[in-house]
A and B are shown apart, each in its own frame.
Chain A
Amino acid sequence: MELHLSLTKRFPSFSLALDQRLQGDRIGVFGPSGSGKSTLVNLLAGLERPDAGRIVLDGEPLFDSAGGINLPPEKRRIAIVFQNAHLFPHLSVRDNLLYGWKRTPEALRGIGLESVVEALRLEELLQRGVTNLSGGEKQRVALGRALLANPRLLLMDEPLSALDDTLRFQIIPYLKSVSERFRIPYLYISHSLVEMRLLTEQVLAISRGDATAPLPPEELALQRMGTSQVGFINLLRLAEPVRSDGLLLYRWGDVTLQLTGEPNGTSETLYELSSRDIILCRQHPAAISARNLLPCRVARIIPAGRKVGVALDLGDRELVAEVVADAATELAIEPGAPLYAVIKASAFRRLG
């Protein structure tokens, strides 16, 4: 998918001005609320009209103020998955799913009901009304409804923000696998960096109607480490835990991690670890209450405002820690320096 945006839109409180060329099938749009993300969704879908400029999707102009082109929403074939599912309350799940499909020209109906029902596990919901579905079920139906319209592009406008954490991480695999399976590129709009890192390849960061050039989500997360409330979130995929003395032992690359908590079966589980929960030591501490003591080397130093981000090389894995500038000087942190990373067993938080 190639999307060329060059547009301006003025509002009483701010104005949006973008000039971007986005390439890829999984693109993120990141920004705090009020930054213009939702406006961008409306402009792309044709629900709002830019003041001036061009929107070109895969070579076809959807909007061109100079050429007098402004395709109506139903001609753009861009479907939206909203934050709150917004299913049609007067239709059954089945009729909701088929709403867009029925309005798609036969030649373009590549995706059919059966495959979507199977991929999103909707069999049991089909005959039900939409008002008594749970939040996660509603969002799955909304995703199915959007897919069945056989769109060229899927706009996901904070699709997980209304769900609790557990549900969020249950739905993420669906979002990703479904778009891959049906080959529909998406634009993923969110204010969650973790979602960006799990779901997108390139991210456009918008703030106050302005955007920087797209960059990989990991880089964006590193850049924002200094200003973020939670530091940099290390994401660890851990599988096949061994129980030992009330702790969970996970093999992670060359090291073994000790975690508290209950395992999520033996399947792969996603854990988060904040860069602020990693303590760095120059020497091996003789006795320490923290359960994880990992020898490592400094891979890189990442500027992070008044703090210093330290990428740690643990053999074939990497963690990012964060220390204040003074500590970095005292520890003589420089690329290649040997260190010990100390992490409490309770610092890991299971996602999903």
Chain B
Amino acid sequence: MITLAPADYTAIGLSIKIAVTAVGISLPFGFAVAYLVTFTRFRGKVLLEAVVNLPLTLPPVVIGYLLLLLLGRNGWLGRLLDGLGIRIIFTWKAAVIACAVVGFPLMVRAIRIGMEAIDLRLIQASRTLGAPWYDTLASVILPLSRRGVIAGSSLMFARSLGEFGATIIVAGNIPGVTQTIPLAIYDYVASPGGEPMAAALCLVSITISLAVLILHERLSRRDRGVA
């Protein structure tokens, strides 16, 4: 039988909290970027696409380091926040930011695929029927890209649960504060006799991932039934 230490429950709770928050914060931005890239033409679009996709090709450790430079005591954003009394580095908020940045391209990609599948004529029909662009966005594009939004959110959630490299650099590995499931597993594996505990957490990790996958399937199937 698997036994989990109280610290493990904290790590599980923290992982889920960080992943949910990262998805919640990224969703409006991911949707906006996917909309811009799919439906509008503007100068610098290629640059935006490149920047959004950069985390996909960079090692997470590099992203973590760059975030540290940006948000640290001497980083320009860090100094600004420090002046306001907000500390990000080595808190769970830093883990959220790390997860959001690393998972962002996956989310944008999934939403974009959903949006590209929308028939352009539907958007034109809505405009000629009297809807300004923001109305079309809310009444046609949003409901018709629901599947992409669901896919993007579950992808990012799953990716966040597994985030290690960027998190350990900006948030550290502080038990009870920033130690998520992967970091706890790392600690167990690194310490002698920790293998059974590591295996137990691995099992938890697999269970959560499966649950997310099943939920995603359910939601998108129901959606197909509606459409």
Give residues in A with beta carbon < 8 Å to B. Answer: 42, 45-47, 72-74, 76-80, 82, 84, 86, 88-90, 99-100, 103-104, 131, 145-146, 149
Contacts and interface: CB of A to CB of B under 8 A. Distances in A.
Interface stretch (B120-128, B149-157, B182-190, B204-212): B120-128
A47 B127 contact: yes
Contacts of B144: 89-90
Contacts of B129: 74, 79, 99-100, 103, 145-146, 149
B47 interface: no
Interface residues of B, number: 20
A284 to B, nearest CB: 58
Nearest to A142: B125
A100 B128 CA distance: 8
B140 to A, nearest CB: 6
A100 B125 CA distance: 9
B28 interface: no
A53 B194 CA distance: 78
Interface of B: 119, 121-122, 124-133, 135, 139-140, 143-144, 226-227
Nearest to A47: B124
A79 B128 contact: yes
Given A74-B130, A78-B128, A149-B130, A86 B121 contact: yes
Nearest to B136: A74
Contacts of A42: 124
B132 to A, nearest CB: 5
Nearest to A130: B227
Contacts of A78: 128
B128 A89 contact: no
Contact of B124 (A80, A90, A99): A80
Contacts of A73: 124, 127-128
24 contacts: A42-B124, A46-B128, A47-B127, A72-B133, A73-B124, A74-B127, A74-B128, A74-B131, A74-B132, A77-B130, A80-B124, A82-B121, A88-B126, A88-B140, A89-B144, A89-B227, A99-B129, A99-B131, A100-B129, A100-B130, A103-B131, A149-B128, A149-B129, A149-B130
Nearest to A77: B130
B128 A103 contact: no
Contacts of A82: 121, 125
A19 B176 CA distance: 75
Contacts of A146: 129
Contacts of B131: 74, 99, 103
B135 A103 contact: yes
B149 to A, nearest CB: 13
B125 A86 contact: yes
Contacts of A84: 121
A90 B226 contact: yes
A72 B127 CA distance: 8
B128 A47 contact: yes
A72 B227 contact: no
Interface of chain B, helix or strand or loop or mixed? helix
B117 to A, nearest CB: 11
A77 B129 CA distance: 7
B125 A103 contact: no
A77 B144 CA distance: 25
Contacts of A74: 127-132, 135
Nearest to B146: A90
Nearest to A105: B130
A45 B227 contact: no
A47 B121 CA distance: 10
A325 B227 CA distance: 60
A74 B133 CA distance: 9
Contacts of A72: 127, 132-133
Contacts of B125: 80, 82, 86, 88
A99 B139 CA distance: 9
Contacts of A103: 129-131, 135
A74 B126 CA distance: 8
A131 B226 CA distance: 10
Nearest to B142: A90
Contacts of B132: 72, 74
A74 B139 CA distance: 14
Contacts of A90: 143-144, 226-227
A45 B128 contact: yes
Nearest to A108: B130
Contacts of A46: 127-128
A106 B132 CA distance: 17
A163 B227 CA distance: 23
Nearest to B119: A86
A211 B128 CA distance: 25
Contacts of A76: 128
Nearest to A149: B129
B68 to A, nearest CB: 44
Question: Which among B124, B135, B227 has the highest number of chain A CB atoms within 10 Å?
Answer: B124
Contacts of A145: 129
A105 B125 CA distance: 18
Contacts of A45: 124, 127-128
Nearest to B143: A90
Contacts of A131: 227
A82 to B, nearest CB: 6
